[in-house]
Structure formats: structure tokens, C-alpha cells
Amino acid sequence: MLLVSLLVSQFIISQNKTKKPNIVIIYVDDLGYGDIGVNGAIGVKTPFVDELAKNGLNFTDAHSAAATCTPSRYSLLTGSYAFRNNAAILEGDAPLIIDTTKETLPKMLQKAGYTTGIVGKWHLGLGAGKIDWNKKIPLGPEEVGFDYSFLIPATGDRVPTVFLENQEVVNLDKNDPITVSYGTRIDGYPWGSKHPELLKQHTDPYHQGAVINGISRIGYMKGGKDALWVDEKIPFVLSEKATDFIEKEKENPFFLYFSLHDIHQPRIANIKFVESSTMGPRGDVIAQMDWCVGEITKALKKQNLLDNTLIIFTSDNGPILDDGYLDYAIELLGDHKPGGKFKGAKYSVFEAGTRMPTILHWPAKVKPGKSDALLSQVDLYATLACLLDVKVAKNAAPDSENYLDAWLGKSKKGREFLLEEAYTYGLRFGKWKYIQPKGKPIPDWIAKKFVDPGFSAEIQLFDLEKDPSEENNIAKNNPKIVKKMENKLKEILK
């Protein structure tokens, strides 16, 4: 009897060891390299994220594919550079930009036996033309490879401000249909431009459309009153949906893409987090984001799944202080450095635009530590396919390369060259950083954000080992490196 139970328990242990790991990507919005405790945050504490770093691998040179949201997310899910599809920040009523005939990261994982779910920000477009928000939307996460979806359709600062569950508006009263408009003003919710007295936060002129929950947005909207989200409750709603998914799928290997609204604007923290930092709303929503991370790790622990779940914690693009809402992020910053020692921000080709806080946590297989391997999120597709021994479909993921050993900390060797997409291109080659010249004037709406996008009529080259903050352009002294990188960039872009 003893022998039998011993054998059974051995069998269970060995089964657990070979069991496919669950995969959770925690994708924070606009979080900078320096915005987490382990990377030097000042003025806000991130204990749950720091705990992941303590028991996982903290990467110091891992990148989102681009310096803005839609392009980065496109690359993450398709393994393809955004420029191939002209992917740029989308309005809230834009059609789906992912080709549904091709394999994607979630479809590859479905092939490997995973149940797939997305909870949170989508921002990759929906439907094929004009969206009817009052019916099930025909093209979206389901067609891209997600078995379950609970979405913020675009951004917190764009209409419609409603959640979609499996591509249907949650809590929609059919007698109060939703109309959305970008460009043409429509009657419905009052406009911020006309009614500043309704606002919790003032904004620049670009964010003065529909006022909903005291916040003016980009775009205009009518109807759907019962379906409107309450900004202050978003972190709770999303965390609950994500933990419900974990609980429901606990028996199967699952993939959860937990795509937080924080710390994107409007940064409207729940009262639970107000003044939890010394940096005002931007710091408070970092604390709020950290709490959401804790909800996920607690849910995994509760199901006894934390050990064999591969969590990747990262962000879609660099930090931004003023993105249009007046929440005093600049004034209250103190000594905190959102991009760490790196120059740049969201929208910028300098390092902070794409160098992301990145932690991989998988206690069953990965030893804690730090890695300076040069890595890109575009490679997660091929890397996870290799981990699971799945073949990437022939016409899919043209830019995704397998760096499994580097992602698991067995090697420090990542990419030889790495593309950084912004409003111009950056290319990394070891310690070298090349920036493609762009003589055009800085677009007005970026210039107003106190962000340097990195435009210059001249070629820029930096030695990041000596000059991590990209201050000294040494292109003229290094013609051979410049030529090599120019050629490589041409080859990538052709």
C-alpha cells in the first residue's frame, strides 16, 4: 500500500514537472524602465512587482518593439514589425489591423493545447468597417486566437468608454444604443471643449470630446449609459476578470494576456490608492498597477500554480509625464526617473521609448537573477513556440526569432541587431545605437508633450556603454559602424 501511494505521488510529481507551464503576460501601459522599485523608483513602492523580480529574472536591456502602444502590441501578437502593416496608434473606432488568416501568438498557443484569454486593453482595432457597437462585433480577439476576451476596446482616453466581453458591450441597454464618432461632433455626452466645469482634470485641446464620468476623451459618444465604465473601478474589474479566468482554466494549460489600463492617462486612481505615492496621480496609479500584479500572483498561488506559471511582466512603451491631461506628473515628480538613466520617453526613438521594465518569473524552471541580454518582445512568439515545441506556421511571424536560452537566463546572448520603431527608426548592435536621420519638424502634438522624439537631420550614433543617456553623437568618428548599421537597417526595412 505504501509502495503504491509512493509510486502514485512520484508519478504526480513527474507529471507536474513535465506539465506545460501556464503563460501570463502582464502588459502594463506606458510604464517606464525606472518606474518599478527594483529599477530605482523613488516616490512609489511596487512590492508585488519587486517580489517577481526577486524570485525571477530582471532584464536590463529588453525592448518593446515600438515606442507606442498599437505598434508594440501588433508586434507582440504577430511576431511581425509594425512598419510592415503601417501599424500606428488607432482611434477607438478603427478596424482590426491583424490579418485573421494568419497565425498569431495566441493561435500558436491554441495549437499547443492552451486555452487563451485576454483581459484589458486591446487597441488593435475591431470589426472590418464601421463598427456597430450594439451587436456582437464580428472581428476581434476571437478571430485573432483568444478563446475569451474582456476588453477596453482602445484606450482609457478614447470613446467608447465601455467594456466588451467576447466582443459584445457589457451591460448594454438595447433601448439606449451607442453611437461613436471621431472627427465629426455628435450630440450625446457633453463636450469638454464646451463644458470645462464638468471635468475632474483639465486637458489639452486634443482630449476635449465626450465628457464621461467627469473626464473628457478623444472622440464623441452618445448612448450606452448603463454600459459606461467607472474609471476608478477599472483595476478591480480587470483584476477580477483575470483571476476568474485563472480559476476557471486552472486544470488546463492557459495563456492569459493581462493588459492593464494603468498607467495610461487619464490617471484616475481609486481612493484606495490616492496619495499612496508622493508623485500625485501618476505615482498613485503605479501603486494601483502593482496591486493588480499582486492579485494575479495571489490567484496563481491559491490554485497552486505559481511555481509552474511563466509570468512575463513588461510594458508596451516608455513613460510619459504629460500626455494631455493636467495631473501634475511633471510638477510632482521629485527625483524619480521614469526612464531610469535612459533618455527619451513614449513616442521617442531614444532608449527609454522602448527599453522596458521586464521580468520573467517561472520558479519551476528559471533561477532568479539579472540579465543584460538584448531582447525584443517581437521574439516572444518564436521563443514560446520553441519552448512548447510547436512549429510556427510558414506565413507567420516573419520577424520573430527564438532566444529561449536568453529569456530563460541560460545565456546572455540575445539579438545581434534590434530594431526600435518610433517616429523614426533606431537600431541596436551590441553597445551601439544608431538613429535614422529625420529632418522633418517635430509634429505639433508631440512637441507639446515635452518629449524629444529624437529627430535630427544628421545621423546619430551613440556608444551606450560609455553614454547610456545618448548625449554624445559619435557618428562622425565611426563611419564603419555607421555604414554597417545603415546597411542592416536598409535590409530590415526593404
Q: Report, in Å, the least distance between residue 305 CB and ligand NG6.
A: 30
* Strands 309-315, 22-28: pairing kind: parallel
How many Å is the maximal CA-CA distance in the chain?
Answer: 80
Nearest distance in Å: CB 135, Ca ion: 29
Scanning residues 189 to 248, which ones bind ligand NG6 (CB under 6 A)?
206, 218
Of 93, 284, 295, 316, the one binding Ca ion by CB under 5 A: 316
Of 267 and 415, nearer to ligand NG6 (C-beta) is: 267
Nearer to Ca ion (CB atom), residue 71 or residue 283:
71
Please give the Cα distance from 208 to 91 (Å, whole number): 15
- The torsion region of residue 123 among left (phi > 0), alpha (psi -120 to 50) and beta comes to left
Q: Which stretch binds ligand NG6 (CB under 6 A): 224-232, 243-251, 316-324, 372-380?
A: 316-324
Q: Write down the least CB distance from residue 68 to Ca ion, Å.
A: 6
Shortest distance in whole angstroms from residue 285 CB to ligand NG6? 13
Residues 59-98 that bind Ca ion (CB under 5 A): 69
Residue 282 touches which of Ca ion, ligand NG6, none (CB < 5 to 8 A by kind)? none
Nearest to 13 by CA among 308, 348, 398, 399: 308
Is position 324 an interface residue for ligand NG6 (rule: CB under 6 A)? yes
Q: How far apart are CA 275 and CA 260, in angstroms?
A: 20
Minimum distance of Ca ion from residue 316's CB (angstroms): 4
When computed from its CA atoms, the radius of gyration of the chain, rounded to whole angstroms, is 22
Work out whether strand 254-259 and strand 211-212 pair parallel, antiparallel, or are unpaired. Answer: unpaired
Q: Does 421 bind ligand NG6 (CB under 6 A)?
A: no
| 60 close to 370: Cβ distance less than 8 angstroms | yes
Q: Cell numbers at residue 370, please?
A: 539579472
DSSP per residue over 99-160, as a string?
-TTS--HHHHHHHTT-EEEEEEE--S--SSSS--TTS--SSSHHHHT-SEEEEE-S-TTBS-
Binding mask 350-389 for ligand NG6 (x = CB under 6 A): ----------------------------------------
Query: For ligand NG6, how many residues bind (rule: CB under 6 A)?
Result: 15
Select from ligand NG6, Ca ion, none the partner in contact with residue 323, using the beta carbon and a kind-dependent cut-off of 5 to 8 Å.
ligand NG6
Separation in Å, CA 121 to CA 6, 347, 411, 468 = 47, 19, 33, 32
Place of cell 464638468: 198
Candidate segments 160-168, 176-184, 317-325, 328-336, binder of ligand NG6 by CB under 6 A? 317-325
Q: What angle do CA 283, 289, 292 make, to 5 degrees?
A: 150
Report the DSSP beta bridge partners of residue 359.
Answer: 58, 313
Q: Which of residues 263-282 bind ligand NG6 (CB under 6 A)?
A: 264
Q: Which does 295 bind (CB under 5 to 8 A by kind): ligand NG6, Ca ion, none?
A: none
Site for ligand NG6, residues 81 to 110, rule: CB under 6 A: 89
d(CA 259, CA 282) in angstroms, rounded, equals 18
Contact characters 200-239, Ca ion, x per CB under 5 A: ----------------------------------------
Binding mask 27-46 for Ca ion (x = CB under 5 A): --xx----------------
Smallest gap from residue 89 Cβ to ligand NG6 (A): 4
Does 261 engage in binding with ligand NG6 (CB under 6 A)?
Answer: no
Please give, one letter per residue, the 3-state secondary structure of 151-188: EECCCCCECCCECEECCEECCCCCCCCCEEECCCCCCC
Sheet holding 425-429: strands in order across?
Answer: 417-421, 425-429, 432-435, 460-463
Indicate which of ligand NG6, Ca ion, none lies near residue 123 (CB less than 5 to 8 Å, by partner kind): ligand NG6
Question: Mask 444-473, x = binds ligand NG6 (CB under 6 A)?
Answer: -x----------------------------
- Please name the amino acid found at residue 95: P
Q: How far is the CB of 32 from Ca ion (least distance, A)?
A: 11
| Residues lying near Ca ion in the complex (CB under 5 A) | 29-30, 69, 316-317
The residue ranges that bind ligand NG6 (CB under 6 A) are 29-30, 68-69, 89, 123, 155, 157, 206, 218, 264, 317, 323-324, 445
